[in-house]
Amino acid sequence: MKSYSTVEVRFEDGIAWVAMNRPQKRNAISVEMAREMVEVFDALETDARCQVVVLTGTGDSFSAGMDLKDYFRATDGKSPVERARVYRLNAAWQWRGLLHYPNPTIAMVNGWCFGGAFTPLVACDLAVAADEATFGLSEINWGIIPAGVVCKAISTVMSQRDALYYIMTGETFDGKRAAELRLVNESVPRARLEARTRELAKTLMQKNPTVLRQAKTALRYSARMSWDEAADYLSAKSDQSTFMDPERGREEGMRQFLDEKSYKPGLGSYKRKR
């Protein structure tokens, strides 16, 4: 993979560590970063070295959110079409891409996380934060609302009361509070953050990748359906998964459980043939 100016990528035992890399700007998301992220995620989708993607930031920040100069002042004088192109580019990786990315994704919040950074954080499948990380929806403090799709993003993981509190007060909170709010799955001391994220990634890598992909897609779509619609969709999705799976995981898992009695589904995965 080629080098990028605002994104850092490294591979480690099936994990692609993708870092927003503008430490001098607290990894604020620029138009250039958006372009590079689109390219990076497109390349990783078919890269055999990547089984799980971890999204993080270099230095002591996850991301300070959108680069105000790039996304506001620099576009104020542009035509509606030009502005729409810039915002569409950002959406292409931050939520349209991440929400339905084929590989499992984990957000590792290592520090400062503000405003627009909440969107890719929420769009990742799972999230782990450092206890010491600082989160904030500070837009109210400088006269705008949390725009883009930040309000939508946080509404899918936080209660309305909690979301409104932080949107309306602009107060900051730490990783432990982020876990209580369900913005992240868990929070650990900064010294353990990378090790815990790696452990979680390796757990995901042990699962059947086809079924893992189908399972997360099923949840994303069925959450927006009625019960009747979901019942029909999930039945079809289950059949599709069985048809698509080159490992024949359903058959192998049932054979090992029912015939060999060699594992218990509630306590671990079936033994995969690699």
Whether 38 shows a pLDDT value over 90: the answer reads yes
Residue 28, pLDDT score: 96
Structure-token pair, residue 179: 């876990």
Kindly state the average pLDDT of the residues 62-90.
Answer: 81
pTM over 0.85: yes
Whether 105 shows a pLDDT value over 80: the answer reads yes
Dihedral over alpha carbons 152, 154, 160, 163 (to 10 degrees): -120
Between residues 84 and 178, which one has the greater pLDDT?
Answer: 178
171-183 pLDDT, tens digit per residue, is 999 999 999 999 9
Between residues 187 and 246, which one has the greater pLDDT?
Answer: 187
Q: Which of 153, 150, 123, 128 is nearest to 216 (CA)?
A: 123
Taking CA atoms, 16 is separated from 5, 153, 164, in Å, by 17, 24, 35
